[in-house]
Amino acid sequence: MPDVRSDKDCRRLIAALRKPVYRGCFALTYAYGLRISEAVTLPLKAIDAKQMVLSVIGKGNKQRALPLTESILDMLREVWKTHRSDRWLFPSRRIVTSLPDATARNAFYNARNECGFDHNFRPHSLRHSFATHMLQQGVDIRIIQMLLGHSSIRSTEIYTHLTEPLRDDLRKLLDQTTDGLFEGKGVNHG
């Protein structure tokens, strides 16, 4: 089962990241369900502010175009003002290279520990949480497949697991539809 966290927990962890580059990187990871490797290597040219599109290169060098929101674009602009790299959205300290995956992970783990979350909460948990929250909000699984960059729907189907809120809703529905079933209410015993 994928490690899925509540929206509140994901936001709490992201808020605990003090440096704007780290906070922006993981905010984007959660907002779009990106893999950490996709987020840390995003070049500035990935942003098309006119078309409001974010171009992401995923596994297998496959490109996907994600719709940018005003709030995400504003956040990316604010992060850029802190480093002004002419190449990377999330640069390393030296500015000339992208943020190393290991550096981003260490920042995540430090924030996780500061928040008191268990060790199962990893950067990929943000991706799992994004996909699960989208499903819970009724987004079609094929749209989620596209957003995640999965080539096969089978890869996306792991998010259709019954989460706690979905189990509770299903239990209520089953309670309603099975109430009195055994007693035979309304059945003619001839």
Question: Is there a domain that residue 77 lies in?
Answer: yes
Active-site positions read 35, 59, 124, 127, 150, 159
Question: Is there a domain that residue 67 lies in?
Answer: yes
Distance CA 80, CA 88 (A): 9
Question: Is there a domain that residue 165 lies in?
Answer: no
Question: Is there a domain that residue 2 lies in?
Answer: no
Query: How do strand 63-67 and strand 47-48 relate by DSSP bridges?
Result: unpaired
Question: Is there a domain that residue 157 lies in?
Answer: no
- Show the domain range for 70: 7-126
pLDDT (tens digit per residue) in 24-61: 999 999 999 999 999 999 999 999 999 999 998 878 78
Question: Is there a domain that residue 136 lies in?
Answer: no
Whether the CB-CB separation of 33 and 147 falls below 8 Å is answered with yes
Residue 7's pLDDT is what?
Answer: 94
CATH code, domain with 41: 1.10.443.10
Number of domains in the chain: 1
Residue 59's pLDDT is what?
Answer: 80
pTM of the model: 0.80
